[in-house]
Amino acid sequence: MTIQATIRDATPDDASAICAIYNPFIAESVITFEEEQLTPEEMGDRIARIQERYPWIVLEEEGRILGYAYGASWRHRHAYRFCAESSVYVDPSVQGKGIGRALYGALIKRLKQDGFREIIGVITLPNEVSENLHRSFGFHEIGVFPKVGFKFDRWLDVAFWQLSVGPAPEGDAGA
């Protein structure tokens, strides 16, 4: 990553660039279990919906979105309100340049500032790069669910990784 790069909140105007990064992962990999590529309109709606509660950030360099990261609901029950699932995606043409690390670090910081206590990473196996990224931030593998995903005519294992970032906010826990 070069010095000219900026990490900022995503906007619905970033939806086309985010689709350009994400849709090939849908079409060509098991990194995500989504199977239908998204339109910019669908992605814009997703960004807006997620940002009602969680951060969604992008790394931009010279007007080009090179990657993005966001938090999302871990589970939908109210008792899980201090947990967030984390995701990061980087344009394959610039992978290995520290962009994912910069985005993930910024996302973790934002989730912690926003009062989240636990961050959950979900990794389709095998994925040594993602496992190493999570490990480098202090995540611990909690468990593996064998053969819970089915994509491209094969069964896939999923690992859950957890990072504790601090105590829940004091006072009213009704966040």
Assess if residue 51 is contained within a domain: yes
Question: How many CA atoms lie less than 13 Å away from 159 in the CB half-sphere?
Answer: 18
Q: 6 forms bridges with which residues in the sheet?
A: 60
Assess if residue 175 is contained within a domain: no
Collapsed DSSP state (helix, strand, coil) of residue 151 = strand
Candidates 58, 61, 71; CA nearest to 16 is 58
The DSSP line for 78-101 is GGGTTEEEEEEEE-GGGTTSSHHH
Q: Where are the alpha helices (DSSP H) in the chain?
A: 15-28, 40-50, 99-113, 128-136
Assess if residue 30 is contained within a domain: yes
How many domains, in total, are found in the chain?
Answer: 1
- Phi then psi for residue 32, to 5 deg, are -115, 150
56-94 pLDDT, tens digit per residue, is 999 999 999 999 999 999 999 999 999 999 999 999 999
Assess if residue 169 is contained within a domain: no
Distance of CA 129 to the CA centre of its chain: 14
123-175 pLDDT, tens digit per residue, is 999 999 999 999 999 999 999 999 999 999 999 999 999 999 987 556 555 55
CATH of the domain at 30: 3.40.630.30
12-59 pLDDT, tens digit per residue, is 999 999 999 999 999 999 999 999 999 999 999 999 999 999 999 999
Assess if residue 171 is contained within a domain: no
Assess if residue 174 is contained within a domain: no
Assess if residue 173 is contained within a domain: no
Assess if residue 73 is contained within a domain: yes
Domain range for 19: 6-164
